[in-house]
Amino acid sequence: MDYVQITPRQRDEMLKAVGANSIDDLLKQVPDELRLARPLDLPAGMDELSLRHHLSDLAGQNQSASQKTCFLGAGVYDHFIPTVVDHLAMKGEFLTAYTPYQAEASQGSLQAFFEFQTMVCQLTGMDVANASLYEGATALAEAALMALNVTGKREIIVSQGVHPHYRQVLRTYLSDLPAIYTEIPLKNGVVDTQELESELETDTAAIICQSPNFLGHIERVPTIAKFAHANESLMIQCFNPISLGLLKRPGEMDVDIAVAEGQPLGIPLQFGGPYLGLFACRQQFVRKMPGRLVGQTIDAEGRRAFCLTLQTREQHIRREKATSNVCTNQGLLALRAGVYIAAMGPKGLHDVAQLCHNKAAYLAGRLADAGLSLRYPNQPYFNEILVQLRQPVDQVLAIANQKGIIAGYPVGRDYPELSDCLLIAVTEKRTKAELDALVDVLNPVGSAPRADHARQ
């Protein structure tokens, strides 16, 4: 937004036009007890050079993942981003996160979104993908609303293995709707299928599970999908896009709607956002899909062209018939994800996924040598391991931080029964030396021998 400085005369003319004698007259409706009776406690103004030094000092107090060894995951990961992603995304033609209202006038942006949708479909094995949503949490919530609309049923069953923040957003979405929110507990770190079967009702619209789940474990998605479809409910999976370089795709496991946080696809950690919501589904549900869908067509001269095929928001004429209130898409971040996927290709994505898993397996083996075990050792994992510590988690994190290591996420914040556990994420960026250094921090009795561990 641009700000225009006005003269005192212009100010007086504006006040007169609204029937006020002073700025205070405009604030008469604010009670005196709510007004600040003194000037704001702000420092004196600075010249530009001094201000730059001051801001630089403030920024220097922050320490990013590039300055420390980062094992923090829990939904957002420190992956390597090829230079080409930044180079293309920063071009002036693309450097906007907003979608133009006269969309067809921006053929370059529409083509980028079309290619992004295509790559998301190839990645997930699903029939159709939209041009992105805000981030993973709202993508999941929109999937639940879509399931309610598709089935006409009212209950959403959610695994406690779904990201706690996603579940919180979903509860907020459903709080003022005639919908029932039901959580299924975990058993040995994964969905308790017996409990799930007992909770299924004829009014269940969908089952939601995350795989790999928040604790890092790979769920039995095909089995859960069978429960859902036998009950004429939809199956919704929240997935890690990098994991699909190794694991079965949602479309191969009979999933109806697949959603994800797209941050691992070439998007920096950037202080927690903005991020990117991935959303894909079966072709039969396309007209209930939230957001917008870019399609390919031809123009009046027969040339290849792109258009917004579906726009489900309430402001695009549909009004009360709208299937979603999502008003935009994360265009710039979808572009980054598209460039990342294209640059990496199938082999690159496979190699990244393999490295993440192999390094996590090496760390698990080294921790076993140090006498530290996984909380659920029999559960398969991708790149995050849940380690049971013998010291208070906060103490371990503080010691690691002093050594320049962000050791992981204390899951006891969200799962009190796991208050002695640390969730450690391993990406392709972590080196053997960094993994060994983490073991030395987590091992309270000294360094363990560095045995070679077979890759899992």
Query: What's the pLDDT band for 36 if we cut at 50, 70, 90?
Result: confident
37 within some domain:
no
Q: What is the tens place of the pLDDT at every residue in 102-143?
A: 667 788 888 999 999 999 999 999 999 999 999 999 999 999
Kindly state whether residues 333 and 392 are assigned to the same domain. Answer: no
Question: Reduced to 3 DSSP states, what percent helix, strand and coil does the chain have, rounded to the nearest 5?
Answer: 40, 15, 40
Residue among 172, 157, 139, 140 at smallest CA distance from 206: 157
44 vs 421, residue with greater confidence = 421
260 within some domain:
yes
Kindly state whether residues 88 and 235 are assigned to the same domain. Answer: yes
Note the Cα 291 to chain centre separation in Å. 16
Kindly state whether residues 313 and 351 are assigned to the same domain. Answer: no
Q: What is the tens place of the pLDDT at every residue in 377-393?
A: 999 999 999 999 999 99
Helix (H, G, I), strand (E, B) or coil at 346: helix
Average pLDDT over residues 222-240: 97
Task: Identify the pLDDT of residue 1.
Answer: 45
Kindly state whether residues 406 and 287 are assigned to the same domain. Answer: no
Q: What is the tens place of the pLDDT at every residue in 192-212?
A: 999 999 999 999 999 999 999
Instruction: Say what the pTM is.
Output: 0.86
Q: Of 307, 340, 373, which one is at a domain's C-terminal end?
A: 340
22 within some domain:
no
DSSP structure class, residue 337: H
DSSP string covering 375-406: SSTTS-BSSEEEEE-SS-HHHHHHHHHHTTEE
Residue with tokens 């007890």: 33
Task: Identify the pLDDT of residue 446.
Answer: 46
454 within some domain:
no
Q: Answer whether residue 2 shows pLDDT above 80.
A: no
Average pLDDT over residues 322-329: 74
Residue among 364, 443, 438, 360 at smallest CA distance from 406: 438
Instruction: Write out the residue range of the structural domain in which residue 118 sits.
Output: 84-340
Residue among 213, 434, 455 at smallest CA distance from 354: 455
Kindly state whether residues 235 and 285 are assigned to the same domain. Answer: yes
Q: Tell me, what CATH number does 210's domain have?
A: 3.40.640.10
Whether the CA torsion 170, 171, 176, 180 is positive or negative: it is positive
Beta bridge pairs of residue 385: 424
Q: Which two tokens stand for residue 62?
A: 């922050």
DSSP string covering 407-434: --EEGGGT-GGGTTEEEEE--TT--HHH
Residue among 262, 184, 248 at smallest CA distance from 220: 248
Kindly state whether residues 318 and 417 are assigned to the same domain. Answer: no
Give the torsion through C-alpha atoms of 149, 155, 160, 165, to 10 deg: 50
Q: Of 296, 318, 340, which one is at a domain's C-terminal end?
A: 340
Q: Tell me, what CATH number does 410's domain have?
A: 3.90.1150.10
89 vs 428, residue with greater confidence = 428
Task: Identify the pLDDT of residue 98.
Answer: 59
Query: What's the pLDDT band for 5 if we cut at 50, 70, 90?
Result: confident
Q: Answer whether residue 228 shows pLDDT above 60.
A: yes
Query: What's the pLDDT band for 99 if we cut at 50, 70, 90?
Result: low
Residue with tokens 């990961």: 77
Kindly state whether residues 320 and 425 are assigned to the same domain. Answer: no
Q: Of 299, 324, 340, which one is at a domain's C-terminal end?
A: 340
Give the integer Cα–Cα distance in Å for 412 and 425: 16
DSSP string covering 55-112: HHHHHTT---TTTSEE---TT-------HHHHHHHTSTTT--SS--SSGGG-HHHHHH
Kindly state whether residues 363 and 390 are assigned to the same domain. Answer: yes
94 vs 302, residue with greater confidence = 302
54 within some domain:
no
Q: Answer whether residue 449 shows pLDDT above 50.
A: no
Pairing of the two strands 204-210 and 234-239: parallel
DSSP string covering 142-180: HHHHHHHHHH---EEEEETTS-HHHHHHHHHHHTTTT-E
Distances (CA, A) of 139 to 5, 176, 221: 42, 18, 19
Which contacts (CB < 8 Å, 24+ apart) does range 304-308 have? 305/104, 305/107, 306/104, 306/107, 306/110, 306/111, 306/113, 306/114, 307/103, 307/104, 307/110, 308/103, 308/104, 308/110
Kindly state whether residues 315 and 382 are assigned to the same domain. Answer: no
Average pLDDT over residues 168-187: 96
Task: Identify the pLDDT of residue 326.
Answer: 76
Task: Identify the pLDDT of residue 297.
Answer: 92
Q: What is the mean pLDDT of the chain?
A: 91
Structural domain count of the chain: 2
Give the integer Cα–Cα distance in Å for 198 and 219: 18
